[in-house]
Amino acid sequence: MPDTRDTNDKDELPSATVVKDGKVPGDVPRTPPPPAKRAYKRRWSNYLLDKKLQLRYVLLVTILSALISGSLGYLVYQQEHRASDDIAASLAEQVKSDPATYGDLQKEAVADMKARDEALVLKMIGTGLGLAVILVLYLVVMTHKVAGPLYKVSNHFDQMAAGKLPKIWGLRKGDMLQDFFASFKEMYDANRARMTDDVAAMEKLVAACKAAGVAKSGDLSEELEALEAHVAARKQALS
Amino acid sequence: MSNERTYKRSWKNLLINKRYQLRFTLFMVGVSALLMAALGWWVMQTANEATNVAIGQVRGEPCPKVPDISEPTDAGGDTKPTTPMKLPPDDPPPAPPSDTDDQDLGHHRNVTVTLSSITEVLPPDYAALAAGHWTCVIDHSGKIEELQQGKMRIFYVLLATGTLLAIALAFYGIKTTHKVAGPLYKITLYFNKMRDGRFDKVWPLRKGDQLVAFYDHFRHAHEGVVGMEKADVERLRALIDAAEAAGVAGSSPEVDAALADLKTILARKEKSLA
């Protein structure tokens, strides 16, 4: 609802205003908000930028680790199982000689060893899975540091393909391929600077022709108009 | 001249982007080495335990005993040690046997030694028992040695596998990352040319290279910049032609200077596209 108060009437008491969320309606901050900073934050949702590249490496290292852990884990289990079998065999011999004394002991020991062997397998599976999860997460983050710059450069490539050369910013801290990006930025900035200089030179000719009054009609006039439009388009592409 | 460029990978230039390639390769090798070391240690601990149990079991198996040679056995009921026979002190020492001994029995004491009193000390199957005992002892020693060798074999196999795996992974890692670093290196070379204002033809990647999609993006970017340059050339050429046709040269020093600048730019752009 519009405010109908006469603000010039200083004798009149101001009408009550509702303070909401600590702000009076119509309050305008004295200082404008700071310009939006181009700060990119990594999110879990977009960590897999280049699935093919990233998953290839992630799968390679994970499968390799699984193979090593699996085969060595099997060796551990085999050795443990062998020890259990040896003890069981030894106890079985004892039972043969004195079933009354060793019978229960054997059953107890065998059950205990079986439980230990099973616990070992579970422990190994748990450790392996935990390791795989940690490894996959770490590798996704690690490969993202390569895929991120490539994704960013790809976007700039797309802009270049569309005939646009806007200003670009550097990579995030911690990103890899810094050398590659520096090389790209050097090329990009050089082309941008050259285009900007060229546009300035074209603009200068248009202005000089206008000042000299040499292009009032004819082909030159049309060409100058076309050049002006070209300069405007270039300026937009460079902005 | 062939239009197709063929590059061959050589081991010499596999490490193009050392920082990137070594980081990924070393990570892979490091993870594998850590796993091998940690699990290998576990394997060795368990193997040691299993070996000790097995050795204990081997030692616990009794070997057949061998009767002591110095002690007589119970066989024959004679457990007393044999003692040398003593003659009564008043008896004269026995004379050497002669043909007349049988006739002079009243003067000499005859001693009859039967072999059974000696052989009764050793059991009849002594040799078999001794052989059985020592065979068993040797067999046990052999088994224990074999078990210990088996444990060491596991250690050597682990060590060799770990070393080979690390070496193989290092090579594989460098070769795999090269397939990413290669296209990036190639693109960097084009960047250098583009930075210097040279827009040469962009050649395709080698077979087996990765980042094919990324490279396509680059090719389109290159085409985009080339398109911009071509548009500039077209526009500048048309303008300069129109200006020359209109005879604007000499109309003002500013126009002349600006026109000269544009001609230089046109020449540069035409050269860059050549």
Q: Are A90 and A179 within one domain?
A: no
Per the CB < 8 Å rule, is A76 touching B197? no
For residue A69, tell me if it sits in a domain: yes
Q: Are A135 and A54 within one domain?
A: yes
Q: Does A86 touch chain B (CB under 8 A)?
A: yes
In chain A, % of residues over pLDDT 90: 28
Chain A hits for B180, CB-CB cut-off 8 Å, are 53, 146
Per the CB < 8 Å rule, is B27 touching A89? no
Report the pLDDT value the prediction gives residue A154, as an integer from 0 to 100: 95
Q: Are A169 and A136 within one domain?
A: no
In this predicted structure, the answer to whether residue A185 has a pLDDT above a threshold of 80 is: yes
Report the pLDDT value the prediction gives residue A191, as an integer from 0 to 100: 95
Q: Are A230 and A171 within one domain?
A: yes
Domain count of chain A? 2
Report the pLDDT value the prediction gives residue A218, as an integer from 0 to 100: 79
**Grouped pLDDT means (10 residues each) for chain B, 274 residues:** 55 80 90 89 87 86 78 48 56 55 56 58 80 91 91 89 90 88 93 94 90 94 95 94 86 90 95 89
Query: Sorting pLDDT into bands at 50, 70 and 90, what band is A39?
Result: low
Report the pLDDT value the prediction gives residue B7, as an integer from 0 to 100: 57
CA torsion sign for B32, B37, B38, B40 is positive
Q: Does B262 touch chain A (CB under 8 A)?
A: yes
Chain B hits for A68, CB-CB cut-off 8 Å, are 32, 35-36, 39, 165
Q: Which of A198, A224, A230 has the highest number of chain B CBs within 10 A, making it the mutation to test binding with B?
A: A198
Q: Which residue of B has its CA nearest to A149?
A: B214
Report the pLDDT value the prediction gives residue B97, as an integer from 0 to 100: 54
Q: Are A72 and A127 within one domain?
A: yes
Per the CB < 8 Å rule, is A208 touching B252? yes
Whole-prediction pTM: 0.69
Q: With contact defined as beta carbons under 8 Å apart, do B128 and B42 qualify?
A: no
Chain B hits for A79, CB-CB cut-off 8 Å, are 43, 46-47, 49-50, 154
Per the CB < 8 Å rule, is A161 touching B53? no
Q: Does A90 touch chain B (CB under 8 A)?
A: yes
List residues bridging with A20 in a β-sheet.
Answer: A23
Instruction: Give me the mean pLDDT over the A85-106 stretch.
Output: 82
Q: How many angstroms separate the CA atoms of B260 and B255, rounded?
A: 8
Last residue of a domain, one of A88, A114, A144: A144
Q: Does B265 touch chain A (CB under 8 A)?
A: yes
Per the CB < 8 Å rule, is A215 touching B251? no
Distance from CA of B149 to the nearest CA of A (A): 14
Q: Are A127 and A200 within one domain?
A: no
Last residue of a domain, one of A90, A117, A144: A144
In this predicted structure, the answer to whether residue A67 has a pLDDT above a threshold of 50 is: yes
Alpha helices for chain A (secondary structure H): 51-97, 99-161, 178-212, 218-238
Q: With contact defined as beta carbons under 8 Å apart, do B177 and B21 qualify?
A: yes
Q: Are A90 and A140 within one domain?
A: yes
Report the pLDDT value the prediction gives residue B79, as an integer from 0 to 100: 47
Report the pLDDT value the prediction gives residue B115, as an integer from 0 to 100: 58
- Tell me which residue in B31, B248, B254 faces A61 most closely, judged by beta carbons: B31
Report the pLDDT value the prediction gives residue B198, as an integer from 0 to 100: 93
Pick the residue with more confidence: A1 or A50?
A50
Q: Are A172 and A102 within one domain?
A: no
Pick the residue with more confidence: B115 or A188?
A188
Pick the residue with more confidence: A49 or B265?
B265
pLDDT in tens, A143-161: 898 899 999 999 999 999 9
Pick the residue with more confidence: A41 or A81?
A81
How long a stretch of residues is chain A?
239
Question: Which residues in B85-105 are b (16+ Cβ under 10 Å) and which e?
Answer: eeeeeeeeeeeeeeeeeeeee
Query: Sorting pLDDT into bands at 50, 70 and 90, what band is A192?
Result: very high
Q: Does A226 touch chain B (CB under 8 A)?
A: yes
Delimit the domains of chain B by residue range.
14-82+111-177, 197-274
Q: With contact defined as beta carbons under 8 Å apart, do B272 and B198 qualify?
A: yes
For residue A7, tell me if it sits in a domain: no
Per the CB < 8 Å rule, is A201 touching B262? yes
Q: Are A170 and A236 within one domain?
A: yes
Report the pLDDT value the prediction gives residue B85, as an integer from 0 to 100: 54
Domain range for A218 is 163-239
Cα A49 to Cα A57, A141, B162, B183: the distances in Å are 13, 11, 33, 18
Chain A hits for B42, CB-CB cut-off 8 Å, are 72, 76
